[in-house]
Amino acid sequence: MLRLTPSVLAGVAALLVLVTACSAPLQKQTAADKTSPPKLGACYVLAPKDTDAKSNTAEPVSCSKPHTAETFAIGELPASTGKDYGSAAHGKWIFPVCERAFEKFLSVDASLALRVQLSWAWFRPSERGWDKGARWYRCDLVGGRADATSYAELPPTGKGLFRAKPPEEWLTCADGTTVQDSKKVPCTEKHNWRAVSSIKLGQPADPYPGDRLVQVKSRDYCSDSVGAWMNYPVGYEFGYTWFHEAEWKAGNRLTVCWAKTDR
């Protein structure tokens, strides 16, 4: 009969620890795990499923090569948004920060920002990085609208893209019987609607005025705005995309006006 002495038992325990350590490889650190912020101006190949996530582990690619995202703003989340990794306060704080930086980066105003085939997404560190004290954020330009199912390739940089004449391939048009039922497309593609202007419906601190008032005000303004854009023809058709209380609470105060046109 084998007798296990204390020294033998200690040796067995040490061997088990060694075997366990060898069988559990160290987890590779990703860019999202780091406490240092991402690089401003870095480019990435991202898809809509990537931008739905809180953090992103993709490695940067050369901006001279095909890419669908570009980092245009970085910084740190303030302590006022809380220590909870998943707190909604982070998103509430970051929305106006990324939105203003997005407009400045592209050289667009708030009205045109709603009428382009581009949008932005933001990322925070991974939970692993968060636990290590990382509090950075990253705002990325992406080659598609917020509801896009795929992203188009971006130019080497989006900085100042709309500083001169707005490029038709990044302006929003639509193809369909009505604006609501239409497919939103770049204006270089076949279309019969074009987003031509917008109306600001309230100030940041204003309460939501209600669906009916927003709809009526949008309709009346867009009728005049589209008529002026089309040089007041005898007959013309127009449409409008107005938003509801949820979007209002997120900070959106604009309605988009559409002209029925194939140009």
One domain, residues 156 and 200: no
DSSP-derived letter for residue 250 is T
The C-alpha R_g of the chain, in whole angstroms, comes to: 25
In the sheet that holds 172-175, the strands lie side by side as: 183-186, 172-175, 193-200, 254-260, 238-241
Residues 145 and 180 in one domain: no
Closest CA to 258 of 148, 164, 184: 184
Say what the pLDDT of residue 252 is. 85
Mean pLDDT by 10-residue block, N- to C-terminus, for the chain (263 residues)? Answer: 42 44 61 94 98 96 98 97 95 94 97 96 97 97 95 98 95 95 95 95 92 94 95 92 88 92 92
Non-local CB neighbours of 115 within 8 Å, separated by 6+ positions: 171, 172, 195, 196, 198, 256
Count other Cβ atoms within 10 Å, centred on residue 92.
13
| Judgement on whether residues 80 and 180 belong to the same structural domain of the protein | no
pLDDT for the residue 27: 65
Check whether residue 51 and residue 149 sit in a common domain. Answer: yes
State which of 163, 179, 213 marks the end of a domain. 163
Q: Look at the chain and report how many structural domains it folds into.
A: 2
Do 152 and 199 reside in the same domain of the chain?
no
Domain final residue pick, 163, 180, 204: 163
| Domain boundary residue, one of 137, 163, 189 | 163
The whole-angstrom separation of Cα 21 and Cα 157 is: 46
Q: Residue 186, exposed/middle/buried by CB under 10 A (0-12, 13-18, 19+)?
A: middle
Residue 185 lies in a domain: yes
pTM of the model: 0.84
Q: Residue-wise over 109-123: b if at least 16 C-beta within 10 A, else e?
A: eebbbbbbbbbbbbb
**Of residues 142, 113, 157, the one with CA closest to residue 48:** 142
The domain of 242 spans 171-263
Can you give the three-state secondary structure of 52-107, one letter per residue?
A: CCCCCCCCCECCCCCCCEEEEEEEECCHHHCCCCCCHHHHHHHHHHHHHHHHHHHC
